[in-house]
Amino acid sequence: MLYVIGIGPGGLDMMTYQAREAIEQADVIVGYKTYTHLIKALVGDKPVIKTGMCKELERCQAALELAQNGKTVALVSSGDAGIYGMAGLILELVSKQDWYVDVKVIPGMTASIAAGAVLGAPLMHDFCHISLSDLLTPWPVIEKRIQAAADADFVICFYNPRSRGREGHLRRAFELMAPYKAPTTPVGIVKEAGRRKQQHWLTTLEAMDFELVDMRTLVVVGNQSTYVDNGLMVTPRGYQV
Ligand code: SAH
């Protein structure tokens, strides 16, 4: 049995009961170092197979092999496993293999939901997720999606907004949105949502400080009705108030 588990954005209090139970039932835990560390208290003395970043394929293959050998395996991803996580890769590998393995995907709170609550209610109207990582997606495709989402006036949540070697991507994304979104459009920045070191800032499209952003940050750009009041970012749904 292989559980593919989204453990939520941070602490144990943001994990679903289902995820908790699956981790408790598992014989072995597989995951990226940071995430296995976040759930240490639940893992106890179970064996943990940790791998570093960019070792996704090895991690998934190891998890599948253990499950095939009769173990109950918990493969953990941060946030939701089906959003830039491991769930898709596991199911792709399973569909390529001729033996059967029981896979259950367990949902988790994705970073945008946690960040939205920190900022107020910015995701009340239609929104989308765009990852600025071009490791697996060609950069021209990402640019096209940013423009289309801005043109359609979506609230946009940027995942993977910055890393070493990709410093300019978020700045470029802001340039691409400029023709469609007003310079005063509210922007919320949440670093380490749901974790002990959580921090957040509110700014605008024109005043954005790109230096605040790293790979543990989520950036939420409002739509044309989003406003900030009392330190909270709100996207009206359309109620007459
Ligand atoms: N599966 C994860 C996303 C993995 S992609 C999920 O559903 O949340 C990694 C990106 O997610 C990071 O670069 C960052 O943009 C965002 N992220 C993940 N956890 C976060 C957190 N606790 N606070 C802010 N952003 C986070």
pLDDT, tens only, 212-232: 999 999 999 999 999 999 999
d(CA 115, CA 9): 9
For residues 123 and 227, state if they share a domain.
yes
The SS3 assignment for 146 reads helix
Whether residue 241 lies inside any domain: the answer is no
For residues 46-67, average pLDDT = 85
Helices (H), 33-75: 33-38, 40-43, 56-68
For residues 19 and 64, state if they share a domain.
yes
Q: What range does the domain containing 152 cover?
A: 111-234
Q: 50-80 burial string, b = 16+ CB within 10 Å, else e? A: ebeeeebeebbebbbebbeeebebbbbbbbb
The pLDDT score that the predictor gives to residue 40 is 84
pLDDT, tens only, 1-12: 999 999 999 889
The SS3 assignment for 175 reads helix
The pLDDT score that the predictor gives to residue 76 is 94
- pTM, rounded to two decimals: 0.96
Neighbours of 15 (CB within 10 A): 24
Rounded to the nearest whole angstrom, what is the distance from the C-alpha of residue 5 to the centroid of ligand 1? 15
Position 13 pLDDT exceeds 70: yes
Whether residue 230 lies inside any domain: the answer is yes
For 205, the token pair is: 């499209």
Q: Residues near ligand 1 with C-beta < 6 Å?
A: 9-10, 77-80, 83-85, 110-111, 115, 159-161, 190, 192-195, 215-218
Rounded to the nearest whole angstrom, what is the distance from the C-alpha of residue 216 to the centroid of ligand 1? 6
CB 217 within 8 A of CB 191: yes
In terms of pLDDT, which residue wins out, 41 or 130? 130
pLDDT, tens only, 87-143: 999 999 999 988 889 999 999 999 999 999 999 999 999 999 999 999 999 999 999
H or E element that contains 142: helix 139-151
For residues 150 and 216, state if they share a domain.
yes
For residues 194 and 120, state if they share a domain.
yes
Name which residue sits closest to atom 15 of ligand 1, judged by CA: 159
